[in-house]
Each structure stands twice: as structure tokens, then as C-alpha cells.
Structure 1
Amino acid sequence: MALAHKNPPAAPLGEERRRFQRVKVHLLGRYMLQDHREFPCQVVNMSPGGLAMYAPGIGQIGERVVAYLDHVGRVEGKITRLIDNGFAMTISATPRKRDKLAAQLTWLANRQILNLPEDRRHDRIVPRNPSGVLTFEDGRKVPCRIIDLSLSGAAIGAQIHPDVGTALMLGRVQARVVRHLDDGFAIEFLHAQLPDTVEDSVTAR
């Protein structure tokens, strides 16, 4: 989803700006407001203590937000400031989680994108319908959330963490697990998909 914007917003809090270095990023994801409404989003800068995102659904200052971000996973916090076409929020996290976020952001700053095959070849999008079903070789079916996808892979939100290399199907697309995420895992499709049919294929039941 393309979101109009003007100038990149500043850090969420003066204290957060002093404690953590912000990184300019382009991360897609989804977030949920306190009333359980969900929307796609684009994070434009982030530190281990907060982030700013362009978002179509804007809550109130102080409202709790839970977000699932490409390459980062689940983060939660509270809205601290409203900006053009979005808002800034804190990130509530343990010291261990903040250290992990710092490492992830350093990697993103240095590499721009994670070193996954689908990231090098194809743009990633947030699907219109994030609900999917995983089918494993033993016939087991597990519902999942499609965080984002490209023509050659997807980031999956799920309670399970299959081993890297595990073969499975997302909808009717054959794939394999290539990386673990905080709240799920990344998969690579065995065959590149077509732009016009990829969303229907991965959400097929």
C-alpha cells in the first residue's frame, strides 16, 4: 500500500532520541490499535526505543499499539505523537529485546535489506488478505498470518517454528523455511510466482 508523505518524521521522544540512535528504514508491516482494528503500515525510522510510521489508521496519544514488522517481528508500545499520515510510538521491550533490536537495526542500516533470496530479487508487499494455511508433508494444516510476501517468498507469523529447510505449502505454493523470525519464520517459494496470481495462490485453502 502506498502511503503519501511529506518530510520524514523525527524521533518519537527527546529522551529516546538521546538514548538510541535512529535508523532510517523502509519496513512494511501491519499494526493493531487498542480497539483491535488492523492496518498496513510503513516504518520510516526506528531505534530500539521507538519508531515512526506512515499509517492509514491513527489512534490517540497514549493508545497501545501492537505491530508486526518485516524483518523485525512483533513490537508493542504507545503512541507518543501524531505526524503527517501516521504517528510515532515508543517500543516497550526488555533489555535483551532492545539489544536484539539494536543488532537488527545495525544490520538493516549496513545492508539495507536482510540477505534473503526473495529480498534481492523481488519487492515485498503487504497482502490484502493476511490469512493463510500452511500444509506440511505429513498432511498437518496450520493457520498462519502472512506478514508480507514477494514473488519468491513470504514472512509468516505463526506460533510454530519449523526447522530451517522444512518443506511445506503456503496455500497451493510449495516452499521451504529459510529463516526464523521473532514471531514466525521466512519461507522461500520453490518456484517464482506471477504478480497477478501470487496473493490468490498463497491464500488458497
Structure 2
Amino acid sequence: MPRFQRVKVSILGRYMLADRSEFPCQILEMSPGDAVVIAPVAGTVSTRVIAYLDHIGRIEGDITSLIDGGFKMDVVASPRKREKMAAQLTWLANKDILNLPEDRRHERVVPDNRHSTVVLDDGRRYNCKIIDISLSGAAIELAVRPAMNTPVTLGRMRARVIRHFQDGVAVEFVSAQEMMTVVQQNLRIN
């Protein structure tokens, strides 16, 4: 396996150990081949770990060593996923230094009416507050944290959960929407 250069980052996420126990974590250093994870429960060397990280998405690998307050893990990924990860890590490591803008496909706006509803596939409904929204997705304050890739409906728009953060989730719409439709019609509480 090729060696990769780790970069210093601060990425929040969640991880799951082989026994399906799940915990929050923070990545302090990462490369496309490994990561240094600050974690409340470390597991043991060779334990399989699956993590969902802000800006990176899903990674998996095995614990290679234990450190004070966490562990180091290798990252098992296809060459294409490693390439994508390398680009994202480079951006994350340099965005503050270079004053780079957020890596967004579409401009985000804060709608006038920020209150809406999220409905899970099983019919459970939750009130939410829209932090910002674009043609392709939204960041919402939400009391629950549906798993990554969970299908949801925000207002009347089908979406899926793509990221977790401290007070909520980010969703990606199933299809890009016209901005006026998004802001004016689709986010009303049904």
C-alpha cells in the first residue's frame, strides 16, 4: 500500500465499532490512507471501524494503534475514492490559510421563512429550522439525526441525508430545484 502524507484537519463525525456501538469523533490528522481519531471509546487493534465524517463522507478501515484519547486507523478505499479524498483533504487543510470559499455547487441563501418540516420514510414528522438552502440541498437544524443516506422529505422536497453536524443535518435534494420554487413554495409546513 502506498504511503500518504497526513494533513492537520479538524473534522467532526461519528464512528461505529464492530459491535455496532456508535460514538462522536474528531479527526485531527488524515490522509487518503489513514486517520488519527479522537474518540471516547477506542476499541482494540484490528477492530473494524466505519466512520461518517463531515466533508468527507463514509470511510472504513481497521484500528492500527491506540493513542491517548483515541486511535489511529487505516482507510480502505478504491483509488478513485482516495483521489477524491486527497482533493477534499487538501481543500480542508488550506481553506483557512488561503481564505477559500466554501466548496459548494450552488449559492446558498437563508430563506425568509426558515421553519419547515422533515418527514422520514416511516412517517415520523419533525419540525426543523432551515439554516441555508441552495438548488441542490439544505442545512437544517433538527432534533434527530437520521443515518447518512436516509431518504427524507423537507417540506415537499425529496432529499437524502449527506452530512451530520452539531445541531442538525445537511440534505441533498433528489433533483436540483428552481430557486424561487424552493424558497417560496416547497418549504411551507404542510
With the shorter chain as reference, the TM-score category is: 0.5 to 0.7
Secondary structure of the 1:67 match is strand
C-alpha deviation, 1:114, in angstroms: 3.7
C-alpha deviation, 1:163, in angstroms: 2.8
Partner of 1:98: 82
C-alpha deviation, 1:57, in angstroms: 1.4
C-alpha deviation, 1:131, in angstroms: 2.9
Unaligned stretches of 5+ residues in structure 2: 110-130, 132-138
Once residues 22 and 138 of structure 1 are traced to their aligned partners in structure 2, the CA distance between those partners, rounded to angstroms, is 42
Partner of 1:135: 153
State the structure with more CA Rg. 2
Question: TM-score, length-normalised on structure 2?
Answer: 0.61
Secondary structure of the 2:40 match is coil
Say if 2:40 and 2:69, in contact at 8 Å, map to a contact too: yes
Partner of 2:35: 51
Q: Percent identity?
A: 46
Secondary structure of the 1:131 match is coil
Counterparts in 2 of 1:139 and 1:73: CA distance versus 1, 3 Å: closer
Match of 1:154 among 163, 166, 169: 169
Once residues 64 and 30 of structure 2 are traced to their aligned partners in structure 1, the CA distance between those partners, rounded to angstroms, is 14
C-alpha deviation, 1:100, in angstroms: 0.7
Map 1:108-123 to 2 at 5 A: 108-112=92-96, 114-115=102-103
Alpha-carbon RMSD across the aligned residues, in angstroms, is 3.7
Counterparts in 2 of 1:114 and 1:138: CA distance versus 1, 3 Å: closer
Amino acid of the residue matched to residue 20 of structure 1? Answer: F
C-alpha deviation, 1:32, in angstroms: 0.3
Question: TM-score, length-normalised on structure 1?
Answer: 0.57
Unaligned stretches of 5+ residues in structure 1: 1-14, 168-174, 177-189, 191-205
Is 1:38 aligned to residue 46 of structure 2? Answer: no
Amino acid of the residue matched to residue 109 of structure 1? Answer: A
Say if 1:131 and 1:146, in contact at 8 Å, map to a contact too: no
Say if 2:162 and 2:169, in contact at 8 Å, map to a contact too: no
1:181-203 Cα shifts (integer Å, max 9, x gaps): xxxxxxxxx8xxxxxxxxxxxxx
Say if 1:30 and 1:68, in contact at 8 Å, map to a contact too: yes
1:86-116 Cα shifts (integer Å, max 9, x gaps): 0000000011111111111111122148445
Say if 2:54 and 2:163, in contact at 8 Å, map to a contact too: no
Map 1:1-205 to 2 at 5 A: 19-112=3-96, 114-115=102-103, 129-131=144-146, 134-136=152-154, 138=156, 144=161, 147-149=164-166, 154-156=169-171, 162-165=174-177
C-alpha deviation, 1:166, in angstroms: 7.3
